[in-house]
Structure 1
Amino acid sequence: SNNATIRPCHGIILLYSINSRWSFHDVSRTCRQIPLDAKQNPRLVFVLVGMKSDEKSTREVSSEEGLALAADLGCKAFFEASAKSGENVDAAVFAMVRALRQ
């Protein structure tokens, strides 16, 4: 079950593609399926990352929508990142580590 998988976690980095509205909705749907008792754990940290920030010309999801979803899901941080260029990849991981250390 999801609960058995999530329970031992301390942090989850949620990813979607900025050029895929489907992936944006899917990450929201996936997060909402996490069992309530896991979400209510104050030590469980979420970071939301919109990937493929290097492909702005095919963007389907605005930065503002990503930021709003991060707030709605209770994420500790939001980034747009690119695996291709490396932009904000380290920053997202470091934000997770900082939040876990608090």
Structure 2
Amino acid sequence: MGRTHCEVIVDGKLAVSAFSEWKKGDSLTKVARSNPFVSLDEYTSADGTYAWSNRGGVRIVPCPVAEKEHPERDLFVRVLIYDKEFENSDAAKRLLLDYAEAVAESSACTGSAS
């Protein structure tokens, strides 16, 4: 697992993107600031592992098996919701957390067969 990027296109328009990527020395704050739709002033989790807004979010994901291939790096997932019509902080948070959970439970992170 290196970097993944998935795009959802609806009616010919980019609606949502989801990324997973390893970052060395980056904090949640730095990665969140690189996301045009996430402001740390909006919502940050109490444990500091994720931040979200009405149009996306960023989360650090535990990935013990793949961490061996990426020493001194953290796995981040990001979601971006491009269409302002779909702005909703609760939905963006659910999308972020569900995506992060799917990545964390993947065979690449757990070492188990799918």
In which range does the TM-score fall when normalised by the shorter chain? Answer: 0.3 to 0.5
Greater RCO, CA 8 A, separation 6+: 1
TM-score by length of structure 1 reads 0.32
More helix by share: 1
- Larger strand share, 1 or 2: 2
